[in-house]
C-alpha cells in the first residue's frame, strides 16, 4: 500500500465578513496517497479554492487537522509554513504569476533562492533540468511577454517542479488556455504523474477533470462526491486526434 501523503480530518474554515460568519468548509475528510492525480471540483463558492489554499499551506484552518507528508501543520508558525511550501509544495496558478521582465530560467530559479542550502551553481542546474522537463530548454532566456500562454504556464510548471516537491497544486491551471494548449498542459501533467508526482488539480470543468485519476466534488463546503475516473482521458492521444483547424477557433 502506498504512503498517505495528505491526511485531512474534520477540517473547518470560517471567514468573517463584517458581522457575518461564512462557513467556507464544514468538516472535510480527505486522504490522498503518493502518486495520485486528484481533481478537486466544484462551482464557484463551493469551497474548493479555500481547500486548495489550506492544502497549499497558504492559509490555516479554523479547526480540524491537516498533515502533509507526515508533518502536522497545526502548530506551525508563518515561517515554518513558508519552509514547508518551499520544500514540499509546488504551485501552478491560473494566471501563471511569472515575474515580468525576468527570463524563464530566472523565474524557475525563484523558489530555490529561498532555500539557503542550495548554492548558485546547483540552483542553475536544477532550473535547467526543470525547464528541460517541460520542453522549454531552448526558451530559457526568453521573457514572459515573449512567450505564449501555454509556454508561460509550462515555465510555471517548471518552477513548481524545481524544488522537487512532494505535491504539485494546480489552481485552474488551464483556465486561461485554449483547448489545444490545455491538452498540451494536461499531457505534461499526466507525464509527471506517470513519473510518480502527486498532483492536486482544482477545476470547475468536468471534462478537464476526466484527465485525472480521482475526482472529489465540493459543494457548499462539503465533499458531496468522490469517485475514481472510469474511461480516463489520455491527453497525448486527444492532442493527436485534435483537428488541425481547432487552433483557428
Partner 1 sequence: MNYTNSIKIAVNAIRRNKFRAFLTMLGIIIGVASVIAMLAIGQGSKKSIQDEMSSMGTNMIFVMPGTDQRGGVRMSASEMQTLKLDDVEAIRQSCPAISAVSPVVSSSGQAVVGNNNWPTTVYGVNDEYLGIRKYEVETGRNFSDREVQTYAKVCLVGQTIVENLFPDGENPIGQSVRIGTIPFKIIGILSEKGENGMGQDQDDLIMAPYTTVQKRMLAITYIQNIFASAASEGQNDEAIEQLSETLRRTHKIKAADADDFNVRSQAEMVQTFSSISDVMTGLLGAIAGISLLVGGIGIMNIMYVSVTERTREIGLRLSVGGRGNDIMTQFLIESILLSVSGGIIGILLGLGASAGVSAFMNWPTVIMPMSVIYAFAVCSLIGVFFGWYPARKAAALNPIDALRYE
Residues lying near partner 1 in the complex (CB under 8 A) are found at 53, 56, 58-59, 78-79, 82-83, 85-87, 91, 93, 97, 99-102, 106, 110-111, 113-116, 159, 163
CA-to-CA distance for 182 and 175, rounded, in angstroms?
8
Nearer to partner 1, 53 or 215 (CB): 53
Nearer to partner 1, 183 or 218 (CB): 218
CA-to-CA distance for 153 and 111, rounded, in angstroms?
16
CA-to-CA distance for 13 and 124, rounded, in angstroms?
39
CA-to-CA distance for 33 and 110, rounded, in angstroms?
28
Residue 243: partners with Cβ closer than 8 Å, 6 or more residues away: none
- Smallest gap from Cβ 49 to partner 1, in A, equals 8
CA-to-CA distance for 179 and 6, rounded, in angstroms?
31
Nearer to partner 1, 119 or 225 (CB): 119
Nearer to partner 1, 116 or 249 (CB): 116
- Smallest gap from Cβ 204 to partner 1, in A, equals 17
- Smallest gap from Cβ 119 to partner 1, in A, equals 10
CB of 56 closer than 8 Å to CB of 198: no
Helix (H) or strand (E) holding 182: helix 179-194
- Smallest gap from Cβ 122 to partner 1, in A, equals 13
Nearer to partner 1, 170 or 235 (CB): 170
- Smallest gap from Cβ 124 to partner 1, in A, equals 12
Crossing angle of helices 149-161 and 104-113, in 10° steps, is 30
Amino acid at each position: 500500500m502506498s504512503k498517505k501523503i495528505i491526511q485531512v480530518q474534520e477540517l473547518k474554515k470560517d471567514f468573517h465578513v463584517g458581522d457575518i460568519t461564512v462557513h467556507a468548509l464544514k468538516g472535510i475528510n480527505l486522504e490522498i496517497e503518493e502518486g495520485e492525480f486528484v481533481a478537486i471540483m466544484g462551482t464557484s463558492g463551493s469551497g474548493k479554492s479555500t481547500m486548495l489554499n489550506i492544502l497549499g499551506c497558504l492559509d490555516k484552518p479554523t479547526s480540524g487537522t491537516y498533515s502533509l507528508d507526515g508533518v502536522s501543520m497545526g502548530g506551525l508558525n508563518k515561517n515554518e509554513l513558508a519552509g514547508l511550501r518551499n520544500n514540499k509544495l509546488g504551485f501552478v496558478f491560473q494566471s501563471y504569476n511569472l515575474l515580468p521582465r525576468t527570463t524563464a530560467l530566472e523565474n524557475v530559479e525563484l523558489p530555490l533562492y529561498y532555500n539557503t542550502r542550495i548554492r548558485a551553481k546547483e540552483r542553475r542546474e536544477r532550473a535547467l533540468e526543470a525547464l528541460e522537463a517541460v520542453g522549454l530548454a531552448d526558451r530559457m532566456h526568453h521573457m514572459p511577454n515573449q512567450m505564449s500562454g501555454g509556454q508561460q504556464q509550462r515555465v510555471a510548471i517548471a518552477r513548481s517542479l524545481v524544488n522537487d516537491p512532494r505535491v504539485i497544486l494546480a489552481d485552474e491551471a488551464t483556465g486561461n488556455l485554449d483547448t489545444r494548449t490545455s491538452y498540451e498542459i494536461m499531457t505534461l501533467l499526466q507525464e509527471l504523474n506517470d513519473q510518480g508526482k502527486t498532483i492536486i488539480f482544482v477545476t470547475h470543468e468536468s471534462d478537464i477533470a476526466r484527465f485525472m485519476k480521482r475526482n472529489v466534488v465540493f459543494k457548499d463546503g462539503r465533499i458531496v462526491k468522490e469517485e475514481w475516473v472510469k474511461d480516463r482521458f489520455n491527453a497525448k492521444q486527444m492532442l493527436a486526434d485534435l483537428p488541425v483547424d481547432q487552433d483557428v477557433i
